[in-house]
Structure formats: structure tokens, C-alpha cells
Structure 1
Amino acid sequence: MKALSIKPEIHTFDTCKEFIDNFQIGREDLIITSEHTYVSYFSKYNLDTNVIFIRNYGHGEPSDEMVEAIYKDIKDIPYKRVIAIGGGSVLDVSKLFALKTVSPVIDLFDHKLGFIKDKELVLIPTTCGTGSEVTNISILELKARQTKLGLAVEELYADYAIMIPELLEDLPFKFFATSSIDALIHAIESSMSPKATDFTELFSYKAMEMILKGYEEIANHGPEARIPLLKEFLLASTYAGIAFGNAGCGAVHAMSYPLGSRYHVPHGEANYQMFIGVFKTYQRLNPTGKITKLNKFLAGVLNCKEDEVYVKIEELLNVLIPKKQLREYGLKEEELKVFTESVMTKQGRLMANNYVELNEKTVYEIYKSLY
């Protein structure tokens, strides 16, 4: 049994200048980032390189249409290294451009194209949530199918994952909130996966502790309390990424995808809306299994009783993002069946990682309870 795999070589730098000097950015590099990030942190160094601003190709969640549009513009550029600097959307899109064949994207996600990695890949997160820099997963909204799907193959691992806390300094609080919540749920879900090991749990549990302690500081002292903790949150996100990259996430992520795809809800926020409902269902279906270890650990971190952990977590998360009912996003009740069918037919990769098996009826009941 494989216990742990960490594929990228991980580097940490205090500043972007240190990274540029160490990695010698040049003409054979393709940087994919946002214009704001590039102008704020890199333009002053007058880099002689190729740069793509991802928001020139669309806004919101990354999609197959966005990838196809970028591909048309870069297919004739002779680059040998992809350097992605951004949040999960940027990193997920950029991974694909390290492959020899990218288009048609639908065929790539259907495994109809060969997976040949012929460029070096460097991933640099500017949020503290996705953990994408250490996973082999690219998640896109496939617009023709009205859902989000993940592609997970060995060729999508980065060669280098780079941690630069400086890049998080001007991250708006709402993006800090949604991304860090995503990291917390990565950590919690991966700890409950059937594929979790003693090694992956080290990363899961440490990430939970770091994030929840940070949230307590924010709850007690306000949003600015996060600033001195940005390096901690960035590391916690990477720890959670290592954990779920090995053990996988489950129903919380699977059930969030239709909401994020159809109603353009930020990924971390969509996860939060599903999290408590899924874990209360786990608790009801198998209260004496592995969830007892999780609840005991969380109770110790949060200084509360074991049967209060999810109430306490929800209180902390509500400081960052107010909890909503699904109907508040414009969702119609009859869509719950459509969402359920999408989860059961298109998210098998994730649903295989559930703490207990969830059938179609149970998934629908969770959605209904959150409606």
C-alpha cells in the first residue's frame, strides 16, 4: 500500500525577487498569471519572457472555453517551462499547458488524448486554499456538460511548488476566506478518506489545527489579524494539498461542483455550504468509526465537547462567510434532483473517497436539508 507521495520539489522564498534570481526567468518561459499580480510583483523587474494574463480569456471558474482560447494564442510560442502564479483557477489551467497535446480539451478530460508532459511546470500559489501546487488535479467547468470535472494524471504534477508569502499580502479578505475554507475542508475530508494513511493524516491534522487556530485569532481580533499569519495559512494550504492529493476528497467537493458550476459560487464557499450537511450525515450513519478520532482532535483544538465541534466550526466559518440556504443562490427545488444525478453520474472519482457510502437518496436528502 502506498503511504505517501510528494511529487513537486518544494521551495520557499520570502520575496518574488528571490524566486526570480534563483529560477532565472527568461525567454523560454511562459508565465500565466493575472495582470494585477504581474504588475504588482513582477513588472518592475523587466523580465524578458512570455506572459499570459488569464483574465483576458474570461472571468469566474476556469473552463474548457478559457483553455481553448489560451491555446490558440500560445500554440506557436516556443516555450520550455510553464510558470503559473495565481489562485486555483490559474494553477489548474496552467497545468494543462505543460502537456504536449491540450486541445480539444473535452477529449483530454475524456482520456481520448495521450498524456505526454514535455515542459517543466512551476506552480506558485497566491491564495491559501487550493493546494493545487502539490496535486496532479486540474478542475475545469466543462460548459457543454454544465458541470465541473477533475482530471487527475501523473503528468499534471508540478516539477516545483514555490511558496512566497509576499504574494498573499494584498489578497482581499473575501478571497482569503473562500480559499482558506477550501483548504480546511481539503484537510478534513482527506482525513476521513478510505485512502488516508498515517502519513497523510499528519498533514491533514496539522493543516486543520493551523487553520482553525488562525480563524480563532480572526474571530477574536478582526480580519487584519490574518496578516501576520499569512505564511502559516499558506503552509497549511500546502499541507492540506499534500493530504488530499494522496487520499482524495469526497462528497463535500462532489456536491459543491454543481452549485459552483451553475450559479458561479466561489469554490470554497460552495464547499462550506455542503460541509456541515455531509458530516452530520456521516455522523448519523457511522458514529463509532473513524469520525470519532476526528471529532476528538477537533474538540481539542477548539476547546469544546466532541458533540459540539461542527457547531463551533460553523460559528468560526460564519465570521468569514455567512452561511446561506441553497435557495438564496437562486436555486429552484426541482434542481436538487438534477444536482443529485450529476453527483452520482459524474463525480465517481470523489464519491469513492467518502467515509461511508452515500447513495442517491442520501445525497438528495442532504441537498434538501440545505435548501
Structure 2
Amino acid sequence: MSHSIILPRLMEIGDGASNKLPDIMAALGCQQPLIITDKTMVALGQSHKVVKLLREHDISSQVFDDTIPEPTDASITAGVEAIKAGNYDCLIALGGGSVIDSAKAMAVLAAAGGSMRDYSFPRIVSVPALPLIAIPTTAGTGSEVTRFTIITDATNDEKMLCVGPSFMPTAALVDAQLTHSLPTRMTADTGIDALTHAIESYVSKKGNAFSDFHAKEAMRLIAPNLRRACEKGDNVEARAAMMLGATLAGIAFSNASVALVHGMSRPIGAHFHVPHGLSNAMLLPSVTAFSLPAAPERYADCAKAMGVADPQESTRNACQKLLQELKSLNQDLQVPTPEGFGIDRNQFFNDIEIMAKQAMASGSPANNPRVPSHEEMIAIYTQLWQ
């Protein structure tokens, strides 16, 4: 069986990769960029550095910094209007996963028109889009190398999964130096997000030899370095390993798909504004325990790739060590329960039914080794609270 593999047309990976931006633009034949970012990147001076770099190469640029942490269809519309107001021939996404996801959606809507709902799954989107150069500033989502974007429908708090080659960035500049000042909490949340991508792509029913290779290498890089990057933010080696691991995990899940953790995570984020990586972390141990009986060998491979089980370890022992490591990781990185995050108990249980329906409708649970029923997803959500 063959598999369709989709990647950015151009990639630069390593310290200083972001400085290659003018060369990448020249290779794409672009001269009129709009920089899509957020106010944090502006406050930190990162967007100014990009503007200055481009100016030194006689490229003028403008900045749109009104993206939000959990992008909505309304926030995307504002960006599309800004794009249409100018004569831009490409977009530069500078920021974390939310910024890059926002820019992906804007690139499609600005070129092809319509509303965000028009492009939601199960549609596979292959329409013209503005060229997009992604420069990630977190080691987590892997959005710079994926054919997905997640946008919330503000009218019903549904996180819409949008899929297709149109959402793949044209180029990606992966520069670990941009993550050195990342706060501990964001380092932890985005890092667990990347680890979840790697694990889920490896156990996904849509996995293949290409995605398996990248997933295992991502786990090998992320697992021993996530705590190190959180404990000492200026650990250059740990930061570099996390950045490369996150990108490899993005390549893996973009070409295999995520599964139950992500399907159940998106509604938590949409209903209670929990950061995506954090809601993944809340779910990862419980969902792994639920799914493990259906694919014990695959989960044992994960434990071995992560270095928490020896290569010769029995499948049973390796799986138990994986579960213990995921629980320990959450404890060490201070991942809260839903209650600890501040979610109201009554509201959480009132929303469980609709969250389970939205999770199933996303399509991701169908990729899981063990496909849950509606009632089983409710039980997992309930377990999170307990």
C-alpha cells in the first residue's frame, strides 16, 4: 500500500535558520509579505527583528499582530481583511502553533474565499492559497510542517479541524534559538503536545513506515530533554533536541494523523480555554491506559524509543513503564487536573455530553487503536476529574 506524503516545499532547520528568510522569499519569488504574529512577539521584539532583516534586503513588510491564543473564525476574518487591504504576495507566520494555524487559515480564505466552516473536516482542502512561510517560536505543535489547522467556531465553541494540502506551509524555518526565552509553563505544555503527536502518530491506524520513523526519532529526542529544557531554559542542547523533535513529530502526525487524545482534547480547549498542550497532557495517561490493550506492542515500542524501557524488555513491562512515565511527567511538570486549572465542576459535567459528541465528530478517535464509544469517552472525561 502506498501513502501520500506532504511536506513544505522548502525547509531550513538549525540554529540561525530564521536568518535565511530573505533567501527563502527570493526562492519563492515573493516580495510583498505580511507578517502574521501576536502581541507577545511584538513585545519581545521578535517581529521587529524580522522586519529589520527584511529591510536589510530591500524588502518592505507590514505586521498583523491580532492573532489570539485559541483562534476563532472571527479572528481569522480580521486577518483576511488585513490581507485583502494590501497587495501582499505571501504571509510570514512568526509565533507558536496558534499563530501558524491562524496564518494557514488566512492564507486559504484570502485566496479562495468562503468561511472557515466551508473548509472543516471531513472536507480535504486542496484549493489555491497564498504562499506561507512558517517560523515557529515554540517546540510543540509542529504546525510548520502539518496539513492541519484548528479554528474555533465562536458561535458554539466547537474546534473545527481543517485538513488538506492547502494548509501545508510553503516553507518552514525551524530555529531553536527562538525558543531559548520560552517560559517554563509554555515549554512544558508545548513539549508534551509534541510528545503526544509522536505517540499518537505511532499508534494511529493511519500510521505508515514513513511516519513511524519520524515518530520514534521524535520520541527519542523529546523524552529525555523535556524535563531538562523546563529545568534550565538556556540549555542549548535540550532546546535544540526539543525543537527538532517537535518538527519530526509534526511530520509524523501530519502524514499519519492523531487519535483519541487530540479528539478529546480539542473540546476541553474550546469549552474551557485550556491551552492545547495542557489539555493533551491532562488526557495522555488516561487515554493511553484505555488504548493500550488494543496495541500493546506499539506502546511498548514507544516506551523503548523514549528510553524508559530497555530494548529487550517484555511488552508487558514496557507498557507499564510507559504508563508510569506519563504519570510522572505530568507530576514533574505540574500539569493540573481540570479542577486544578480552575474549571467549574458543574459546568464541566454539564458539557461532557457535547464534548464527547464533538470529539467523535472530529474524526480523530476513529484513528485510535481502540475506538471508544460515546459512553467510554464520557468515562475518560469523568476520570480526569476524579
Which TM-score applies when normalising by structure 2? 0.85
Instruction: Map Cα deviations across residues 230-262 of structure 1 (whole Å, 9 max, x no partner).
Output: 121111001000110011101100101111011
What displacement does 1:276 show? 0.8
Q: Which residue of 2 aligns with 1:329?
A: 343
Instruction: Map Cα deviations across residues 254-289 of structure 1 (whole Å, 9 max, x no partner).
Output: 101111011110100000111111111112x43655
What percentage of residue pairs aligned between the two structures are identical?
26
Q: Any conservation in 1 of the 2:131–2:170 contact (CA below 8 Å)?
A: yes
CA distance in 1, matches of 2:219, 2:236: 19
Query: Which consecutive residues of structure 1, in runs of 5 or more, have no partner in the other structure?
Result: none
The aligned runs of 1:257-296 (5 Å cut-off) are 257-283=266-292, 285-286=293-294, 288=296, 290-296=298-304
> CA-atom RMSD, angstroms?
2.7
- Counterpart residue type for residue 135 of structure 2: I
Change (3 A) 1:318 1:143: same
CA distance in 1, matches of 2:365, 2:248: 22
Q: Any conservation in 2 of the 1:11–1:161 contact (CA below 8 Å)?
A: yes
Q: Which residue of 1 aligns with 2:370?
A: 356
Aligned match for 1:316, one of 321, 329, 348: 329
The aligned runs of 1:70-85 (5 Å cut-off) are 70-85=79-94
* 1:223 and 2:232 aligned: yes
CA distance in 2, matches of 1:292, 1:166: 33
Q: Which residue of 2 aligns with 1:116?
A: 127
Change (3 A) 1:341 1:45: closer
What displacement does 1:198 show? 2.1
CA distance in 2, matches of 1:166, 1:186: 22
Change (3 A) 1:172 1:300: same
Change (3 A) 1:6 1:232: farther
What displacement does 1:110 show? 6.9
* 1:130 and 2:145 aligned: no
Q: Which residue of 2 aligns with 1:347?
A: 362
Aligned match for 1:182, one of 190, 193, 200: 193
- Counterpart residue type for residue 96 of structure 1: A
Q: Any conservation in 2 of the 1:4–1:200 contact (CA below 8 Å)?
A: no
What displacement does 1:29 show? 1.3
Query: Which consecutive residues of structure 2, in runs of 5 or more, have no partner in the other structure?
Result: none
Query: Secondary structure in 1 aligned to 2:35?
Result: strand
What displacement does 1:202 show? 1.1
Q: Any conservation in 2 of the 1:31–1:49 contact (CA below 8 Å)?
A: no
- Counterpart residue type for residue 329 of structure 1: I
Query: Secondary structure in 2 aligned to 1:243?
Result: helix
What displacement does 1:95 show? 1.1
- Counterpart residue type for residue 212 of structure 2: E
Q: Which residue of 2 aligns with 1:241?
A: 250
Q: Any conservation in 1 of the 2:105–2:116 contact (CA below 8 Å)?
A: no
Aligned match for 1:42, one of 39, 50, 64: 50
Q: Which residue of 1 aligns with 2:77?
A: 68
The aligned runs of 1:72-221 (5 Å cut-off) are 72-99=81-108, 100-109=111-120, 115-217=126-228
Q: Any conservation in 2 of the 1:302–1:312 contact (CA below 8 Å)?
A: no
CA distance in 1, matches of 2:18, 2:171: 17
Which TM-score applies when normalising by structure 1? 0.88
What displacement does 1:81 show? 1.3
* 1:30 and 2:34 aligned: yes
Comparing 142-151 with 114-123, greater Cα deviation is found at 114-123
Change (3 A) 1:62 1:314: same
